[in-house]
Structure 1
Amino acid sequence: MASTLLLDQVGWDLCLDVAGNIALATEPYATAQDAAASVRTFQGEVYYDVGRGIPYFDQILGHLPPLSLVKAYVEAAAALTPNVVAARAFITGFKGRKLTGQVQITDTAGRLTAAGF
């Protein structure tokens, strides 16, 4: 069973558990959160794989692309997450420079889980 650091859904920062320790997210939410983190990754930001991420600077910010293109980028980035077999994006806001939404993933165990971005 994989786990990852649990991030606050509003501030996207570390959370504490009831004992005051850094909280962990476990499956299946851990995979969904990792997929949402992939959506927040700018292309070139991952130093060991500069091809990963979404080309926000080159093709999205300041360019006003169609939402279908943004959705395709989001789904492709989420699908690169380990243990994700399918990803579906729901864009809830694209105002100014802020993109918000939800990514729903299906993992290798067949579970459907969602996380916001």
Structure 2
Amino acid sequence: MDSLYLDPATWDLAVDASGSIAVCADPYALAQNAATAIRTFLGEVYYDTTIGVPYWSDILGHFPSLAVVKADLVAAAETVTGVTSAQVFITSVVNRQLSGQVQVTDANGNVSAASF
């Protein structure tokens, strides 16, 4: 499945060489969609308030273990259609900003990764 390509540095739309909005295809699109799910707060998506990471109730303002944070992020990544399993790697926490990588596996066993 194709998805709009998001610039990893800004997490904003990008343009391709012809000046059109850039798109990406599987397997990267699947990983990018999982990273987007990880960046989504529970209740933020107005058409489905049941998806997203429970940042307010479980993470922000609390002192959860790294295992709890990772479990919440993996659960969000695994809600993406086509993802059969996900792994999350935390690469840094600087000034209360969490960064990392999500690696997803699809039904064919393909593994792809995207940063969040």
TM-score range, shorter chain: over 0.9
- Between the two proteins, the alignment pairs up a number of residues equal to 116
Inter-partner Cα distance in structure 2 for 1:21 and 1:64: 44
Specify the SS of the correspondent of 2:19. coil
Structure 2 residue aligned with 1:50: 49
Question: Which stretches of structure 1, 4 residues or more, deviate above 3 A after TM superposition?
Answer: none
TM-score by length of 1: 0.94
Aligned positions of 1:102-117 closer than 5 A: 102-117=101-116
Specify the SS of the correspondent of 1:81. coil
Structure 1 residue aligned with 2:73: 74
Inter-partner Cα distance in structure 1 for 2:48 and 2:114: 24
Structure 2 residue aligned with 1:65: 64
Specify the SS of the correspondent of 1:77. helix
Structure 1 residue aligned with 2:87: 88
Deviation at 1:30, TM superposition (A): 0.5
Task: Mark the runs of 5 or more structure 2 residues left unpaired by the alignment.
Answer: none
Inter-partner Cα distance in structure 2 for 1:36 and 1:15: 17
Specify the SS of the correspondent of 1:52. coil
Residues 14-44 of structure 1: CA distance to partner in whole angstroms, max 9, x if unpaired? Answer: 1110111110011110011000000000000
Residues 41-74 of structure 1: CA distance to partner in whole angstroms, max 9, x if unpaired? Answer: 0000112221211111122112121111000001
Task: Mark the runs of 5 or more structure 1 residues left unpaired by the alignment.
Answer: none
Structure 2 residue aligned with 1:3: 2
Inter-partner Cα distance in structure 2 for 1:73 and 1:40: 11
Inter-partner Cα distance in structure 1 for 2:72 and 2:101: 13
Corresponding letter in the other structure for 2:45: V
Structure 2 residue aligned with 1:36: 35
Inter-partner Cα distance in structure 2 for 1:15 and 1:48: 25
TM-score by length of 2: 0.95
Q: Which has the higher strand share?
A: 1
